[in-house]
Amino acid sequence: MQTNQPITVAALYRFAVVADPAALRDALDTVCRAQKIKGTLLVAREGINGTIAGTSGGIAQVVDFIRAQPDCAEVDVKYSGAAEMPFYRMKVRVKREIVTMGEPDIDPRANVGTYVAPQDWNALIADPETIVIDTRNDYEVEVGTFERAIDPRTRTFRDFPEWFRGERERLLGDGKAPKVAMFCTGGIRCEKSTAFLKAEGVEEVYHLKGGILNPHSPSKSLISLS
């Protein structure tokens, strides 16, 4: 968690059952304001997601509070530093989903793809039998993507289910039972999109653990599209 910058930034998420999102929202707002934390946190019945910034001690207090919540001990947190506070205020909001896909029955806690460690990722996607799908939005893909990755050209994550259902026959037709490898920026969309594919009947689904922001990710293998 130590950075060389005066401000610590924490991007975090966790899929977990939240019995009372409004109560958790209020509690998070209280602890964040007490520690002078700024940023945005989203709370839903499916979990928590957001990015916050503050002193290293203040961020530690908030992360410890989140880890103390039911089924949140393993919340995924990625730390970085900033010279100045990147946010103007603190917002904690209750939403229907912590990452909006528009498929209310999808539950990454119940059925999700197989996590692939960063050091094993390149070998997986180099296999010609593996279908590689970039689940990021179009403007993110423009920065670069992995070789052979399919770009769904989605503007928002909500567009992904429609894209997959429209392309399913081309990708998985003729009795194919391929391996599907998916990746995103920080890991949260990978979890939900692989859960979606599993619910659609795709059995062998993998995703890059922690996304391309994982400090150990093979992001140097991204190819520029510009």
151 in any annotated domain? yes
185 in any annotated domain? yes
DSSP state for residue 210 in the 8-state scheme:
T
Q: Structural domain of residue 50, as residue ranges?
A: 7-94
90-120 confidence digits (pLDDT tens)? 999 999 999 999 998 999 998 999 999 989 9
Number of separate domains in the chain:
2
Does 184 participate in catalysis according to the annotation?
yes
**pLDDT score at 215:** 64
Instruction: State mean pLDDT over 121-150.
Output: 91
Structure tokens at 157: 């994550």
CA–CA separation, 158 and 3 (whole Å): 35
Residues 77 and 123 placed together within one structural domain of the fold: no
More confident residue, 91 or 172: 91
- Which one from 32, 72, 184, 190 is the annotated catalytic residue? 184
13 in any annotated domain? yes
In this predicted structure, the answer to whether residue 164 has a pLDDT above a threshold of 90 is yes
Q: Which residues pair with 9 in a beta bridge?
A: 53, 80
Residues 150 and 64 placed together within one structural domain of the fold: no
To the nearest whole number, what is the mean pLDDT of the chain? 91
Residues 203 and 143 placed together within one structural domain of the fold: yes
Domain harbouring 39, CATH code: 3.30.70.100
CA–CA separation, 190 and 194 (whole Å): 6
Instruction: State mean pLDDT over 193-214.
Output: 91
108 in any annotated domain? no
In the listed set 94, 122, 144, which residue is the last one of a domain according to the structure?
Answer: 94
Of the segments 153-167, 169-183, 211-225, which one has the largest average pLDDT value? 153-167
Residues 134 and 174 placed together within one structural domain of the fold: yes
In this predicted structure, the answer to whether residue 217 has a pLDDT above a threshold of 70 is no
Instruction: State mean pLDDT over 1-25.
Output: 90
**pLDDT score at 224:** 46
In the listed set 60, 94, 128, which residue is the last one of a domain according to the structure?
Answer: 94
Residues 86 and 138 placed together within one structural domain of the fold: no
135 in any annotated domain? yes
Q: What is the pTM of this model?
A: 0.88
105 in any annotated domain? no
Please return the burial class of 169, using the count of CB atoms within 10 Å of its CB with bins 0-12, 13-18 and 19+.
exposed
Transcribe 83-133 into DSSP letters. SS---SSEEEEE-S-SS--S-TT--TTTS-PEEE-HHHHHHHHHSTTEEEE
